[in-house]
Structure 1
Amino acid sequence: MFLPRSQAVPERARGLPSLAGASASGAEVERIVALDGCPTRVVLRRHARARRISLRVDAWRDAAVLTLPPRVGEAQAIGFLTTHARWVLEQLAALPPRVDFAPGARIPFLGEERVISHQPDARGAVRLDARAPEILRVPGELSHLPRRVTDFMKREARAAIKPLVAEKAAVIGARPGRIVLRDQRTRWGSCTAAGDLNFSWRLIYCPPGILDYVVAHEVAHLRHMDHSPAFWATVAEIAPTPKRSRAWLREHGLGLHRIG
């Protein structure tokens, strides 16, 4: 662990990997650094083409990420970090709360709040309670609950997205390829040159209108592989309120990535 004054305990004493001599892109280590007295997760990574130190906050890892040129040492990097300590701490504090899949957790499902109810003695599939739809019932062992809820969300996302793709593609006379669900961090969907459509399974958290818009956006790319006026005209043809939907995703999207 780094000391508050940014002096490191020797690598051998800590038994931690070192970045010393590692110049290849992608080489990285993690540290806990005291920023203004607050223990903060820090990722130090090398990039062979970097010309200066860069700093960003990774919302998925709750960490400050320092990208270093090949010859910059850790002490210099941590010194740079401490000069920006207030900014890092403010950015981390401003992140939406993280919500784990756990008993009692409240999570969105198609825009409506659901409460995870763990039922260790029950059997069968994860399901929404027909008599109490605000409850998501999860049978089985507690250790399996996060995976089972994730699998449920992925299945429901596919079940919601697939018919929307078919419906909107028929309107514009397009022929979609495969539909693939991923956990994409930088985009909600994408369309390949072959016509395959990729979507984030986390869209199942969104209100139906938002999900509808993202599907329409990607289906429109089957006709226009760009963001030209003709593309946006196609989106408007098969999706209501595209501007409002994009604004909703900008406001709430990061929070959806911090669920589960």
Structure 2
Amino acid sequence: MPDFASISPHLNVRISPRARKLMLRLDATERKIHLIVPKRASLKSAYEFARQNQGWIDEKLATLPDAVPYHDGVLIPVLGRQLRLTIDHDNIYKLTKVFIEDDRLVVRTNLDNPSGRISRFLKKTAETEFKAIADEKAARIGKKIKVLTLRDMKTRWGSCSTDGRMSLNWRLIFAPAETYDYVIAHEAAHLIHANHGPQFWKLCHDLSSDFSTGSSWIAENANELMRFGALFHPEKNEE
């Protein structure tokens, strides 16, 4: 089997029965480059394709901002506030508790790595906040949110159907308030308009607290939201 790791240790090979051609795709959440290989293609041809595009691979990995693992003392933006992560590790704790206290995100745990519990708490916090905002915006246009689901989506910030089913990327919790407000307004506008025509954008603008700031930030800083809780960052000089 070709040595794909020699091209990049962050290159992940995926055999796809549906793919029609070789493709490279940046996964900012997992901080990897996925090499999509059609089922009928040879691994040798896939290796040559990746080798010929090594410059693109290195360039894309270098654009990722430094990862911010859930380590004691790091600053994490939560719903527009900068919180200091404070991890109190002691075997006297039988259960892991995560809570916000003043300007701190406090974790009391006996786990060596409570990252999963921290993410679970942040998802629940995001769900509570985002649901309140979504319900308010839907009510303004005479609609209701039937189901709100938070996901860890790799390429989208949200989706919404006209029947009231909305999905949001939980990582929006790391964005400024104007930004997640804009994304929720964008999805709420789809309760009425399934397309992105002029009437949709007018409604989206009307529902946003700060359309310009929110839309600009997410367009320019999307990868920032993927760095928190990540395990590593590929160094630019890595071979």
Please state which band the TM-score falls in when normalised by the shorter chain.
0.7 to 0.9
Aligned to 1:226: 195
Alignment of 1:89-100 (within 5 A): 89-100=58-69
Aligned to 1:201: 170
Aligned to 2:5: 33
Q: 2:108 aligns with which of 139, 142, 152?
A: 139
Q: CA deviation at 1:58?
A: 2.8
Distance 1:49 1:155 in 2: 35
Equivalent AA in structure 1 for residue 33 of structure 2:
A
Q: CA deviation at 1:82?
A: 1.6
- Which structure has the bigger radius of gyration? 1
Which segments of 5 or more consecutive residues in structure 2 lack a partner in the other structure?
230-239
Asked if 1 retains the 8 angstrom alpha-carbon contact of 2:189 and 2:200, the reply is yes
Q: CA deviation at 1:55?
A: 2.5
Scaled by the length of structure 1, what TM-score is found?
0.78
Confirm whether residue 241 of structure 1 aligns to residue 210 of structure 2: yes
Alignment of 1:1-260 (within 5 A): 8=2, 32-35=4-7, 39-121=8-90, 125-130=97-102, 133=103, 135-143=104-112, 145-260=114-229
Q: CA deviation at 1:144?
A: 5.0
Distance 2:63 2:84 in 1: 25
Equivalent AA in structure 1 for residue 161 of structure 2:
T
SS of 2:112's partner is helix
Distance 1:219 1:244 in 2: 18
Q: Name which structure has the greater RCO, CA cutoff 8 Å, separation 6+.
A: 2
Asked if 2 retains the 8 angstrom alpha-carbon contact of 1:47 and 1:70, the reply is yes
Asked if 1 retains the 8 angstrom alpha-carbon contact of 2:28 and 2:154, the reply is no
Aligned to 2:232: none
Q: CA deviation at 1:91?
A: 1.6
- Calculate the aligned-residue CA RMSD, in Å: 2.2
Q: CA deviation at 1:139?
A: 0.3
1:134-180 per-residue CA deviation (whole Å, 9 max, x = no partner) reads x2110012335212211211121122112212221221111221111
The change in CA–CA distance for 1:41 and 1:162 in structure 2 (over 3 A counts) is closer
1:93-151 per-residue CA deviation (whole Å, 9 max, x = no partner) reads 22111222222232211233222111124757312223xx1x21100123352122112
Distance 2:122 2:48 in 1: 43
Q: Percent of aligned positions with the same letter in both sequences?
A: 33
Range with greater deviation from structure 2 (236-245 or 169-178): 236-245
SS of 2:60's partner is helix
1:21-42 per-residue CA deviation (whole Å, 9 max, x = no partner) reads xxxxxxxxxx65223xxx5232
SS of 1:143's partner is coil
Distance 1:116 1:32 in 2: 37
Scaled by the length of structure 2, what TM-score is found?
0.84
Count the aligned residue pairs.
Answer: 226
